[in-house]
Structure 1
Amino acid sequence: MSDRPSTIVDFKASGEAAYQQIFDRSPLISSISAQLDDLLVAYDYFPPGTTPNIISKQHGLGIFIDLPAPVTTERWIDGKLRREIVKRGDTVVIPADTWHYAEWNRGGGAIVVGLEPQAILDTLNLTLDRDSLELIPHFATTDPTIDRIGISLKHALEHPGCLSRLYAESMLDALTMHLLQHYSVQNYALPTYDGGLAPAQLERVVEYIDTYLSRDLSLHELAQLVQLSPHYFSQLFKQSTGFSPHQYILRCRIDRGKQLLRQGGLSIAGVAKMVGFVDQSHFHRHFKRLEGITPKAFVSQV
């Protein structure tokens, strides 16, 4: 270990305070307010600087999505020191309980992700009936899949309400599956299933979504309805409906919102709340994206 100051952080226990232990400030935007126990997501701009020696209780990813120019970085991971050039689209993977520090010469923006180890083990157990995982530390590595996930997470952070529990769990599942396949000692191969959900299974899930549409639904609770792992549930649900669970629920909420707007008697803000959107702005954004017009314009046509 270097002679730098050292700190141990636990994002699940301390939230944004753990981030402040490392960088002496809060991130520009983060998922802390969403109260997602197993996933921390933060976006920040990092001027040239250094970190202390860090060991985190969570698996950590740094996803460099906003680098105007390559950055020269001296990075130390688990006793190995490397001077590297970090480019836009690169990812660094730091397993939980692994010492790490970095020093860099140029500013840029990055997504920082903290994954709760037990959540990954639970997913592994449900998906492959395995109960152990050893991630491999990675210095800056170009990874288009993680880069796309990072960009999606930044977009969700920038639009309050988008980082719902279902969306966050979907991102956690996607990251977990990718890490299992490409960043673990075991190098797990994931089987695939075709044919979608059985008609009775699909009917049960659709009825449940319709009944509890206004709630912040969980991917895990939907998967449990048909006794599948979240990963395979998502895969089969999309085969059956053509949409991911998150996309399907958004469309259901917009359809329910249109029904209520046609009936009249409620404000647009009231309809937004009744169908599960955080606020009128959240409803407006998704309504216009899916319908091509605003809720107000839709009401004027009724």
Structure 2
Amino acid sequence: MQNNLEPSLSINFSKEKEEGYKRIFKRSPLVSSMSVGWNDLVIAYDQYPPGEIPKISVKQHCLGIYTNMPSFVQTERTINGRLVREQNIQGDCVIVPANTSHQVAWNHEGGALTIAINPTVFAQTIYEVVDPDCVELLPQFATPDPLIYQIGVALKSVLTKHGTSSRLYAETLINALILHLLEHYSTNRPNLSECIAGKLPKYKLQQVIDYIYAYLDRDLSLKELGTVVQMSPQYFSQLFKETTGITPHQYVIRCRIERAKGLLKQGLSIAETATQVGFVDQSHLHRHFKRLMGVTPKTFSQQFKKRKN
């Protein structure tokens, strides 16, 4: 039974990282962004047995995305003193703005993704085009949102499969999530598709391209690429897509495949090629190579050798 009179447990994920999670749930999550080295992101996935969490107040905006659920879960949730009895299903999401009290109890096991985003990141997302002081994220009890659910599933997959080399992809997903939240779950909702216009100047685009090719073997981040052209990560990501038609992550993958083709033609092994172009392993290269080229790296190498002979 929830007790709304008890004091809130104050959590700051930016400082506490996984320790903050453990203070709430008394254990580590099954997988988290911290465990794969994304220290500037706070994302955690876990399976939760029936139970409850105490009243908490977090310094970050927090989202809960129900990704693995039975038919429904009976939940009592209190946000900012308001109690709502929910029937949570897969695809539901919950939004708790920063410094807002939150308490919840539930009766069945289920899997969910937790995302914590610093309020400053929200401001950086739009400050070039919209006054962030005029926008406030609103609390949201459990509600289905297909786009947020898809982003949650994708983030879970990235964490569990290729976390150590997919930070750029995760940041791209978080960026899309922030823009969606700002447009649909905030006060004075800006139409960002109208606000964000224009393209990168040619010289700045070339600076980014040169930087990407120079550091293909690194786990590049949006912040790193944005710094090259003195832009916030989010604004850079938007202008890059407007200019090239694809996201920075998609562009980096294509650059890696192009370089991989050259290395394979030089006779490098598939495993060595994967390492030199920044893929986490041979299977990671295999998956993207086949998707973009229509053949596997092995087949590509064999075909090139036949043509050469």
TM-score normalized by structure 1?
0.89
- State the Cα distance separating 1:220 from its structure 2 match: 2.9
Q: Could you tell me which of 76, 88, 93 is aligned with 2:78?
A: 76
CA distance in 1 between counterparts of 2:79 and 2:266 reads 60
Residue 153 (structure 1) aligns with: 155
Alpha carbons 1:38, 1:116 under 8 Å: kept: no
Alpha-carbon distance in structure 2 between the residues aligned to 1:130 and 1:120: 8
Of 103, 106, 112 in structure 1, the residue corresponding to residue 105 of structure 2 is: 103
Measure the CA separation in 2 of the matches of 1:208 and 1:38.
Answer: 21
Name the structure 1 match of 2:221.
218
CA deviation after TM superposition for structure 1 residue 27, in Å: 1.4
Higher alpha-carbon deviation: 154-163 or 56-65: 154-163
Give the corresponding residue for 1:244. 247
Instruction: State the distance in 2 between where 1:280 and 1:4 align.
Output: 53
Q: Distance in 2 between matches of 1:124 and 1:131?
A: 10
Separation of aligned partners in 1, 2:286 and 2:56: 42
Aligned equivalents of 1:279 and 1:224: distance in 2? Answer: 28
Taking the aligned partners of 2:188 and 2:234, their CA distance within structure 1 comes to: 19
State the Cα deviation string for residues 188-223 of structure 1 (Å, max 9, x = none): 332345664343333332222222222222223333
Whole-angstrom CA distance in 2 between matches of 1:150 and 1:219: 19
Q: Which of 42, 45, 56 is 2:44 aligned to? A: 42
Hey, what does 2:19 align to over in structure 1?
A: 17
Report the CA distance between 1:64 and its aligned residue.
0.9
Moved more, 106-115 or 291-300: 291-300
Residue 138 of structure 1 corresponds to 140
**Identity of matched residues, %:** 51
Secondary structure of the residue aligned to 2:132 is coil
1:261-293 per-residue CA deviation (whole Å, 9 max, x = no partner) reads 1102x4333222211122334323323333344
Q: CA deviation at 1:101?
A: 1.0
Q: Give the equivalent residue in structure 1 for 2:258.
A: 255
- Corresponding position: 1:234 with 2:255: no
* Separation of aligned partners in 2, 1:281 and 1:173: 27
Q: Is the 8 A contact 1:74 1:83 kept in 2?
A: yes
Partner of 1:27: 29
Cα deviations across residues 6-26 of structure 1 (Å, max 9, x unaligned)? 522222222222111111222
In structure 2, list runs of 5 or more residues that go unmatched: 305-309
Equivalent in the alignment of 2:185: 183
Q: Is the 8 A contact 1:42 1:112 kept in 2?
A: yes
Note if contact 2:66-2:113 (Cα within 8 Å) is conserved in structure 1: yes
Contact 2:73 2:89 in 1 (8 A): yes
Match of 1:199?
A: 202
Determine if contact 1:7/1:52 at 8 Å carries over to the other structure: yes
Unaligned runs of 5+ in 1: none
Question: What's the offset of the Cα at 1:152?
Answer: 1.2
